[in-house]
Amino acid sequence: MAESALFITLAASIAVGLTFLFGNPKIDPLWIFLPIVLLLIPGFYAAVISGPFVPSARKRTQAMLKLADIKPEDTAYDLGFGDGRLIFAAAKNAKRAIGYELSIPLYLFGLLRKLVSRSKVSIRYGNIWKQDYRDADVVFCYLLPKAMVRFYKDVWPTLKPGTRVISNAFTIHEIKPIETDDKVYLYRR
Ligand SMILES: C[S@@+](CC[C@H](N)C(=O)[O-])C[C@H]1O[C@@H](n2cnc3c(N)ncnc32)[C@H](O)[C@@H]1O
């Protein structure tokens, strides 16, 4: 569903861009803004419902990876991969590392990064709230407090026992972390 929306948005943006560049010269230059706005809308939506793009700081990224203690047989997810710094690093140790992102520019950046780095990471376009995490051993979150409430209500019950959830900056209010490093919190399902 989200992937169809991505391709329709991309196709519409390219079509409007090409029409402007090579088509009818009488087209109002304002039309150039339409594809840009179209491309940015999902990212704004994601920022409002669960969290804007703020990459985890280097120190926090290290703390998250340390608390995750990823094993070679693990499957790791990043809920909103941003610029990919966390999930690309996780992919070096995990069997499978999967990142979801709703922002189109960030998703395209992730694809490009995968191409250049030849990482085995799986970059997926989609809404984090519509995915299945039942096979997760590790789940990374850096989301707004209201999204952590939703995470505990909707995602946490679906995780298998033993899954490690690592949250940057924001806690899951309902449960106690089993370990904390700076403002990074580790929970075990
Ligand atoms: C605070 S950033 C964290 C990025 C990365 N995980 C990190 O730690 O560096 C949150 C990211 O989640 C993405 N995001 C927010 N809501 C989302 C949703 N519903 N579906 C997919 N991605 C989402 C945002 O676009 C943003 O890139």
pLDDT in tens, 120-175: 999 999 999 999 999 999 999 999 999 999 999 999 999 999 999 999 999 999 99
Tell me what the mean pLDDT of segment 13-25 comes to. Answer: 70
Question: Does residue 100 sit in the same domain as residue 148?
Answer: yes
Question: Does residue 71 sit in the same domain as residue 7?
Answer: no
Q: How many CB atoms lie within 10 A of CB 72?
A: 7
Q: How many residues does the chain have?
A: 189
Short-list 109, 124, 104, CA closest to 47: 104
Banded model confidence at residue 2, pLDDT cuts 50, 70, 90? low
Atom of ligand 1 nearest to the CA of 129: 19
**CA-CA distance, 175 to 105, in Å (whole number)?**
35
Question: Does residue 71 sit in the same domain as residue 153?
Answer: yes
- For 77-113, the pLDDT digits (tens) are 999 999 999 999 999 999 999 999 999 999 999 999 9
**CA-CA distance, 43 to 39, in Å (whole number)?**
8
Minimum CA distance residue for ligand 1 atom 15: 46
Domain that residue 177 falls in: 58-188
More confident residue, 154 or 37: 154
Q: What is the pLDDT of residue 4?
A: 65
Q: How many CB atoms lie within 10 A of CB 37?
A: 10
Largest CA distance in the chain: 63
Residue 27 has pLDDT above 70, yes or no: no
pTM, entire model: 0.89
Residue 24 has pLDDT above 90, yes or no: no
Question: Does residue 28 sit in the same domain as residue 100?
Answer: no
Question: Does residue 65 sit in the same domain as residue 43?
Answer: no
Minimum CA distance residue for ligand 1 atom 1: 54
Question: Does residue 87 sit in the same domain as residue 116?
Answer: yes
For the record, the structure tokens of 111 come out as 């694809």
The residues lining ligand 1, judged by C-beta closer than 6 Å to any ligand atom, are 43, 46, 49-51, 53-56, 78, 80-82, 85-86, 100-103, 106, 127-129, 142, 168
Question: Does residue 29 sit in the same domain as residue 63?
Answer: no
Minimum CA distance residue for ligand 1 atom 23: 80
Question: Does residue 94 sit in the same domain as residue 36?
Answer: no
Q: How far is the CA of 81 from the centre of ligand 1 (A)?
A: 5
Q: What is the pLDDT of residue 35?
A: 78
C-alpha torsion sign, points 141, 142, 145, 147: negative
